[in-house]
Amino acid sequence: MKSRIAVLASGGGTNLQALLDYLAQRGPLAEVEVALVACDRPDAGAIERARRAGIPTALVRSPKAPDAAEPLMVAREHDVDFIALAGYLRLLPGDLLAEFPSRIVNIHPALLPAFGGPGMYGERVHRAVLLSGAGVSGATVHYVDEEYDHGAILAQWPVPVLADDTVRSLSARVLKVEHVLYPRVIEAV
């Protein structure tokens, strides 16, 4: 039987799309299915991608959606086995972490433990990498715990930082490998 995954997203959802495309390509061999896409903001592009793919969506409680359900309730309601964060910007509540031990993963657009932690998301990550003079960046998939970008690392994929890189060019290079790495790690885990 396929594992039922919830994808939690706050933004555009290109990693969600990469996962859906990968699973479609795997067809009957796929070991997981995306059973739910949950977002903490109603305008997240990931919601539209999920709708287009015919996947149930949910809004979870946040300052942008104060009346929405708690993430744990939503996960239970959709009978989820595993959770993948894909651009989800909030720390997870303790009750959700407790109910899904070693069953929540995240992808981060740098080589953790460097360039992670509170406030290190989106363009800020790539800007910090460029300012540091690092010659390598990349993507990291890790388990999720109660701290930002902190759980055990499952997989990393390095990419070069080039002399003429901008935030835009570096983030595009990293995102490209995220889209290859994340679906495969999710399925393997």
Residue spans of alpha helices (H) in 35-151: 45-52, 71-77, 94-99, 123-132
Q: Which one of residues 5, 6, 7, 15 is an interface residue with ligand GRF (CB under 6 A)?
A: 15
Q: CA nearest 111: which of 7, 10, 181?
A: 181
Interface with ligand GRF, residue 116, by CB under 6 A: no
- Compare residues 5 and 86 and give the one whose CB is closer to ligand GRF: 86
Report, in Å, the least distance between residue 12 CB and ligand GRF: 4
Could you say which of 8, 58, 75, 178 contacts ligand GRF (CB under 6 A)?
Answer: 178
108 carries an active-site annotation: yes
Cβ-proximal residue to ligand GRF, closest one: 87
d(CA 76, CA 61): 15
Task: Identify the active-site residue in 108, 126, 142, 179.
Answer: 108
The Cα–Cα gap between 167 and 90 comes to 23
Q: Which residues bind ligand GRF (CB under 6 A)?
A: 9, 11-15, 86-87, 107-109, 175, 178
